[in-house]
Structure 1
Amino acid sequence: MRGAIWIRLAILYLIFGLCVGLFMSITLNLQWGSAHAHVNLVGFVTTTLFGVIYSVYPKAAVNSIGKAHFWLHNLGIPIFLLSAFLVQVPGLLDTAHIFTYIGGGAFLLGTILFAYNAFKHIK
């Protein structure tokens, strides 16, 4: 997928992360700090970096590995981020861990594919 798509999705994570931070500030309900940080770092920053790299090296973005990375990342990250919120809800720790393993596993696998793709197609 083209780098511009990655960057547009990253902007949505940025807006969501800022909203979570503003909510925490207004309500002084600060237990969501870890989830807020994960939305901004994993959602916004990593998605932006992948988008910039794929913009600079578009051949890496449009091959089958780049497309698999896109889908693993963009299906895995929302599931992983959901776990970052669920871990704070009493009684949902076990459920949160399931989401962490599924979403985080997809994110990790996608990142491994990205690394392989980068070494193969970025020269």
Structure 2
Amino acid sequence: MNGIARYFMLLGVISVVLGMAWGIQMAASGDHSMAAAHAHLNLLGWVTCAIFAFYYHAVPTAAEGPLPLVHLLIATAGLITIVPGIAMALRHDGETLAKIGSLLSLLSMLIFAVVVLRGRGGARDGLTSVSPLAWAPFRSRRRPDRRGYDKS
């Protein structure tokens, strides 16, 4: 894994390590008041960034151009503002940072949608390096006969 995919994966791994440590601390102390912030760290940090990493790795053409770097920067900014922002909101210290982080996270997902939808070379072309089993659920169950007609 190289390039932008690697950076997203590193962000995800850092997030899950911090999230797991935070979860252990919450369990040990019995104080689960920050569970929502913890959940956002794991979901936006680990799960979402890992999905981004796998997509950019599986579809190398998607990582071309300046948009993926903008995506990484916005996603990182969103993550590092939404998690403490939610923690602050839970402590009744204001919601501004959580709102900013939420908007940045939404913008990150919209950028990802643009990256996916612009489909440089087509996602399926980029995914040919992935195991053919990955496409099994999407293959038609109908098999044409030798003349090209459906047998059904």
TM-score, length of structure 2 as denominator length: 0.73
Structure 2 unpaired stretches of 5+: 123-152
Separation in structure 1 between the aligned mates of residue 39 and residue 111 of structure 2, nearest angstrom? 25
Q: For the Cα contact (< 8 Å) 1:75–1:103, is it kept in 2?
A: yes
Partner of 1:18: 20
The answer on 1:102 being equivalent to 2:104 is no
Separation in structure 2 between the aligned mates of residue 12 and residue 23 of structure 1, nearest angstrom? 17
Structure 1 unpaired stretches of 5+: none
Greater radius of gyration (CA): 2
Partner of 1:112: 110
The answer on 1:3 being equivalent to 2:5 is yes
Q: For the Cα contact (< 8 Å) 1:2–1:58, is it kept in 2?
A: no
Computed over aligned residues only, the root mean square deviation of the Cα atoms, in angstroms, reads: 1.3
Q: Give the residue type in structure 2 aligned to 1:100.
A: A
Q: Which structure has more RCO (C-alpha within 8 Å, separation ≥ 6)?
A: 1
Partner of 2:39: 37
Aligned partner of 2:30 among 28, 31, 34 = 28
Matches within 5 A, 1:76-87: 76-87=78-89
More helix by share: 1
1:65 to partner: Cα distance: 1.5
Which runs of structure 1 show a deviation greater than 6 angstroms over 4 or more consecutive aligned residues?
none
Separation in structure 2 between the aligned mates of residue 71 and residue 8 of structure 1, nearest angstrom? 13
1:110 to partner: Cα distance: 1.6
Partner of 1:61: 63
Determine what percentage of the aligned residue pairs are the same residue.
22
TM-score, length of structure 1 as denominator length: 0.89
Separation in structure 2 between the aligned mates of residue 74 and residue 99 of structure 1, nearest angstrom? 14
- The secondary structure found in structure 1 opposite 2:34 is helix
Partner of 2:48: 46
Deviations 1:44-72 (A, max 9, x none): 10011001101111221232221111111
